[in-house]
Amino acid sequence: MKRLLTGAFAVLFAAAVPGFAQTVDDLNIQIHGFATQGFLYTTNNNILTTNSSDGSPNWFEGVVNISAQPTPKLRVAVQGRFESFGNATNQISLDYANADYKVNDFLGVRFGKVKSPSGLFNEMQDIDPSYMWSLLPQSVYPIGSRNSVLSHFGGVVYGRVRLGKHLGKLEYRGWAGQRVLNSGDGYFVPQVEKGLILPNGFSVPVSGAALRWKTPLTGLTLGISDYRQQHGNALLQYPAFGLSGHETIEALTSPNFFGKYERGRWMLAAERSRVPATVTIALTGVPNSNIFFDLRSWYAMATYKVTDKFTVGAYNSQAFDRRLPPGPAHYQKDWDVSGRYDFNQFIYVKAEQHFLDGTVLSYDTNLNLGGLKPTSKLTILKVGVSF
């Protein structure tokens, strides 16, 4: 699948770019990028992949985007990323590399490595300049495992339909392809820390659809999306004991329901999602180990533009794992207050305070060897530049 897409992308790019008698200006080649530097401090526990209880400045990401538009309906773009986040350091990755052909407002197609357009914020959850928060609500957009849902190799079909003068507009997205995760992906960190390695990574077919209804009430958008992941199986190794076998993730569906209302200086949004999964670790000569989780999550947020440059906001984010026994380990409740100041269109700073209760998300066991305390406060400061 990857080879096919890479070939198709290369052919399209080759046909679109140099073959035409176009100047560089005609191709509208653009280079954009952004970089952010964050600082985290927690009163209890080390959060995410950082030693935050000592104060950690180890959170950097840099992104470069190159795009060209050889014809008004055709775009090609590639975006790369360097990220260093605590003990997940020096990771260089390809955000996307795709060609986009928009026939008209009703129909467009994007293919290559593409962003998966599920939920309210999935496509932009790794684009820090796009939103006011330093951390999006972790219940629905956990940063540690975001790579597992951000993009896929395949395609997206998209468009919008007018429903009539008094019924608003409906935007649709449909996507399918192959999700490819390497062994170092955040999703696999807990098992990698236990010594379980996926030498070939994990590759699985995925598909999904999303509808966004721009209602007749100006500023109100309601939406639903559904993400489906097929049964996946990957080679697994346990070098410490010389064992090998397979890791299996059963087919799963993950629905999201969301709404957003923007009026004047206010933005209100809410989203609910569910991620149920069954993972089996099968090593030769050892009884199978099954891991179940059924994460039910939601958040509600509000932001207010105090001035054109200064925005404040707050959200409440909650997640519960229905498969775990009651107690702090089966939930996370997070109250957040945030502020963002844009000095100009290139430089901004963010400050954020979280009040965390529960430990089902966001904690790396290896960084909390003394055990987890049920509550913590998290302070985040961030500076970003974009061009």
Partner 1 sequence: MNQLIVKLLFAAAAATSAASAHAQMIIVSSNVKASEISKSDLKDIFSGAASTAGSTHVTPILLKAGPVNDEFLSSYIGKSDLAFRTGWRSLVFTGQATMPRSFESDEAAVDYVAHNPGIIAYVSKTAPHDGVKVITVK
Q: Kindly list the residues in this chain that would bind partner 1 in the complex (CB under 8 A).
A: 28, 30, 32, 34, 63, 65, 67, 69, 72-73, 75, 77, 79, 95-96, 98, 100, 102, 104-105, 110, 114-115, 123-124, 127, 129-130, 160, 171, 305, 308-309, 342, 344-345, 386
CB of 211 to partner 1, least distance (A): 15
Nearest-5° Cα angle at 144, 284 to 252: 60
Cβ proximity of 285 and 308 under 8 Å: no
Q: How many CB atoms lie within 10 A of CB 68?
A: 19
CB of 88 to partner 1, least distance (A): 21
Nearer Cβ to partner 1, position 305 or 323?
305
Cβ proximity of 256 and 119 under 8 Å: yes
Nearer Cβ to partner 1, position 86 or 112?
112
- Residue 198's identity, in one-letter code, is L
Nearer Cβ to partner 1, position 75 or 382?
75
CB of 91 to partner 1, least distance (A): 18
Instruction: Determine the Cα–Cα distance for residues 167 and 154; give it in Å rounded to an integer.
Output: 32
Instruction: Determine the Cα–Cα distance for residues 233 and 44; give it in Å rounded to an integer.
Output: 37
Nearer Cβ to partner 1, position 250 or 262?
262
Nearer Cβ to partner 1, position 173 or 354?
173
Tokens read off for 45: 């526990």
Nearer Cβ to partner 1, position 34 or 299?
34
Cβ proximity of 37 and 382 under 8 Å: yes
CB of 131 to partner 1, least distance (A): 8
CB of 178 to partner 1, least distance (A): 17
Per DSSP, which regions of 107-231 are E strands?
107-115, 151-162, 169-181, 202-214, 220-229
Nearer Cβ to partner 1, position 264 or 285?
264
* DSSP state for residue 196 in the 8-state scheme: -
Tokens read off for 129: 């300049």
CB of 63 to partner 1, least distance (A): 7
- Max CA separation in the chain (angstroms): 67
Nearer Cβ to partner 1, position 199 or 216?
216
Nearer Cβ to partner 1, position 77 or 275?
77
CB of 218 to partner 1, least distance (A): 9
CB of 349 to partner 1, least distance (A): 14
- Residue 101's identity, in one-letter code, is Y
**Residues sharing a CB contact under 8 Å with residue 21, sequence separation 6 or more, in sequence order:** none
DSSP assignment of 21-81: ---HHHHT-EEEEEEEEEEEEESSS-BBTS-GGG-EEEEEEEEEEEEEEEETTEEEEEEEE
CB of 151 to partner 1, least distance (A): 9
- Residue 170's identity, in one-letter code, is L
